[in-house]
Amino acid sequence: MKIIKEELTIGSDPEFSLRNKHTGELVSAIGLIKGTKAKPYPMDLKGFAMQVDNVNCEYNIPAVKTVEEFDSALQYGIDYIQRYALPEDVVPCFDASKFFPDTLLDNDIAREFGCTPSINAWREEINPSPSPAGNLRSCG
């Protein structure tokens, strides 16, 4: 099989946590961000959607062909969510992981981990869902 460079595209579904811009305290995306893994909430441009992922915010971008389109799409998703979904005092936090307080984890959604389903391409079987590491939540 020959892969032609012009046919290659890349998409993404990045995640970030949220914090209060005045206090720096973490904020759960549950109740703030519309959409779920099963039913992402569409943004105003085709291919963009947002959803809650555990206590974090996740969004999808459409497949793109260039680095410039990729960068632009990632920034568009962040800007859209900040402008239309978040209260004025809540901002994205781009740390790879954070320890959340118990008060923000007292929810069934906050105890869901991993993609559903996550498939092992080598074994062609479904991976078990990961287990939580206490109050640590990560973004990818």
Residues 6 or more apart in contact with residue 37 via CB below 8 angstroms: 51, 53, 115, 116
Instruction: Between 133 and 76, name the one with better pLDDT.
Output: 76
Residue 133 pLDDT grade (very low, low, confident, very high; cuts 50, 70, 90): confident
Residue type, 114: G
The mean pLDDT value of the chain amounts to: 91
> What residue ranges in the chain does DSSP mark as E strands?
10-12, 15-20, 26-27, 41-42, 49-53, 56-64, 90-93, 97-99, 119-120, 125-126, 136-138
> Measuring CA to CA, how many Å separate 83 from each of 92, 122, 124, 138?
11, 41, 41, 24
> By mean pLDDT, which of 7-11, 49-53, 61-65, 86-90 is the weakest?
7-11
For the whole model, what pTM was predicted?
0.86
Cβ contact 64:73 at 8 Å: yes
As a whole-number percent, the residues of the chain with pLDDT over 70 amount to 92
For residues 117 and 109, what is the distance between their CA atoms, to the nearest angstrom?
Answer: 16
